Homo-oligomer: A and B are copies of this chain.
Amino acid sequence: MGDMIRDPSPATRDNRNRLFYGTFIHSKTREELEYLHNTAVAVDASGTIVAVNKTCATSREAEDDVCSKLGWRHGEFDVRIAKEGQFFFPGFIDTHVHASQYPNVGIFGKSTLLDWLNTYTFPMEASLADLRKAKRVYTACVRRTLAHGTTTSAYYATIDVAATNLLADICLRLGQRAFVGRVCMDREGFCPDFYIDESVEQSVEKSRVVAEYIRGIDPGYELVAPILTPRFAPACTAPALEGLARLQKELDVLVQTHVSENEGEVALVAELFPWSKSYTDVYDKTGLLGEKMILAHAVHLSEEEATTIARQGAKVSHCPCSNSSITSGAARVRWMWDKGIDVGLGTDMSGGYSPSILEAARQAALVSRHVAMRLEGEEKERAKLTVDEVLFLATRGGAKVVGLGDKIGGFEVGKQWDAQLVGLAMVDEEGEADGDSNVDIFGWENWEERIAKWVYNGDDRNTKSVWVKGRLVHERR
């Protein structure tokens, strides 16, 4: 798209030290954002934050400070200043997204999960075995999500090995941090003839091939890592799930799947796995459930399932856009938090209609109010998620879900510089706003109110620049 960078030149690969100055906002706790004004963040050439100074009256003072403390020399590092009203915010983390379904966003009619898969999803995914089409779709998806400030994505690709490897290539080239998963689905009768793994063994081995490919292009998993991806219990046989559990332990990588999205699906799982106590139990018994597992949706969990998930340390990706649009239900985030489960946000394109995690955060707030409408008294009040809480879900919450809680999600020394610069439009005395934005700031709003305005009306126009691991990966022209 017109405002996205094309192949970055070596100069934008950011192999210099950098200093960022101005207002920084990130989550202090799950309940509370922290507003750091007159702050300087120094990022070294590897993309790591090496200093944070919260008391620099001017950018010049910040420059002098890094020179004296870090031994940097004036002119040998770049300085980026957040202008008045702008702020640096951690990059968003999309903990559940089907890159292969990107062309279908917004297209779901009145369908629900199981008919949606057959009508819209499987045909589109199967068609990406055409690598030229896959390149076009995946490139559009990665560019679009970067423009929305998504610096890390946990992707489902398709069952095709070559196309999945291509998605990993594209993430690496465009600079998005990503977990890339080949979709495993081997159950005859559920999977369509034209879109199914040949056997249990193939389901597992093809996943290994993709993991090895990614190790080849990014040996330390610095930016791109493999993630095992059994589609969901109804599409997989128990032996395949068990095989993937063994592979997961061998490779020590993340694994992602869906759980308890839709009532019809829950009933189907009970029928297909008659030995299981619950949907969650299928993953537990086959050895998959553990700290490295991301479970998408978790809408209709029983108390017992939530307890099991918490005990095993598995994470949940909350996908409010998707759950509303295909009428799956309203997931109870506060209830999951109360159980001790870590939760992040997912766009779940294209069950979810939007590429934006800011939209997912907004919908998380709204869906929590629909959860509240069914409750009474204190429980009703508690169910509602605040602006601060949904932004936690979008950043630090997501970081923990993808196992990178110590690496991304906030501005601390030692973390990676995965960040976005956000700007809102100011309305002048004549009632005109400067610049193209859907957020109007009149000037009397405090910072908390500005952030609320951003969450409820902001979009990719407000995301001026995006960095991943120190590299500038998107800039609006």
| A125 at interface by CB-CB < 8 Å | no
Q: Mark out the residues of chain A between 424 and 462 whose CB falls within 8 Å of any chain B CB in the assembled complex.
A: 425, 427, 429-440, 442, 444-445, 449, 452-457, 459-461
Q: Which of A106, A143, A369, A449 has the most CB of B within 10 A?
A: A106
Residue of chain B at shortest CB distance from A380:
B327
- How long is the Cα–Cα vector from A369 to B370 in the complex, in angstroms? 11
CB of B329 within 8 A of CB of A440, answer no
* B442 & A369 in contact (Cβ 8 Å cutoff): no
Residue in B closest to A363 when the chains form the complex, CB atoms: B366
CB pair B324–A366 under 8 Å, yes or no, is yes
* Docked complex Cα distance between A353 and B228 (Å): 39
Q: Please pick, from B144, B373, B387, B455, the residue contacting A329 in the complex, using a CB distance under 8 A.
A: B373
Please report which residues of chain A, range 115-149, place their CB below 8 angstroms from some CB of chain B when the two chains form the complex: 132, 135-141, 143-144
Nearest-Cβ distance from residue A438 to partner chain B, whole angstroms: 7
Identity of the chain B residue whose Cβ is nearest the Cβ of A136 in the assembled complex: B431
Q: Is A1 an interface residue (CB 8 A)?
A: yes
Give the docked Cα–Cα distance between A386 and B440 (Å).
31
Q: Please tell me if the beta carbons of B370 and A456 are within 8 angstroms of each other in the complex.
A: no
In chain A, positions 251-293 with a C-beta closer than 8 Å to chain B are none
Given the interface contacts A106-B452, A110-B386, A453-B107, does A434 sit within 8 Å of B1 by beta carbon? yes
In the complex, which of the residues A354, A380, A386, A438 has the most CB atoms of chain B within 10 Å of its own CB atom? A438
Q: Using Cβ atoms and an 8 Å threshold, which residues of chain B touch A456?
A: 105-106, 325, 353-354
How many subunits of this chain does the assembly comprise?
Answer: 2
Of B373, B387, B431, which is within 8 A of A327 by CB? B373
Chain A 302-326 near chain B by CB (<8 Å), digits 1 or 0 = 0000000000000000000000111
CA distance A425 to B144 in the complex (A): 12
Is A220 close to B, CB under 8 A?
no
Q: What residues make up the interface of A, taking CB atoms closer than 8 Å to B?
A: 1-4, 6, 102-103, 105-110, 132, 135-141, 143-144, 324-327, 329-330, 353-356, 363, 365-366, 369-370, 372-373, 380-381, 384, 386-387, 425, 427, 429-440, 442, 444-445, 449, 452-457, 459-461
Of the A-B pairs whose beta carbons lie under 8 Å apart in the complex, a sample of 25, sorted by A's number, is A1-B425, A2-B433, A2-B435, A6-B432, A103-B444, A105-B456, A106-B456, A106-B457, A107-B453, A109-B386, A109-B452, A110-B386, A136-B427, A137-B431, A139-B430, A139-B431, A139-B432, A140-B433, A144-B433, A144-B440, A325-B369, A326-B369, A327-B369, A354-B456, A459-B459
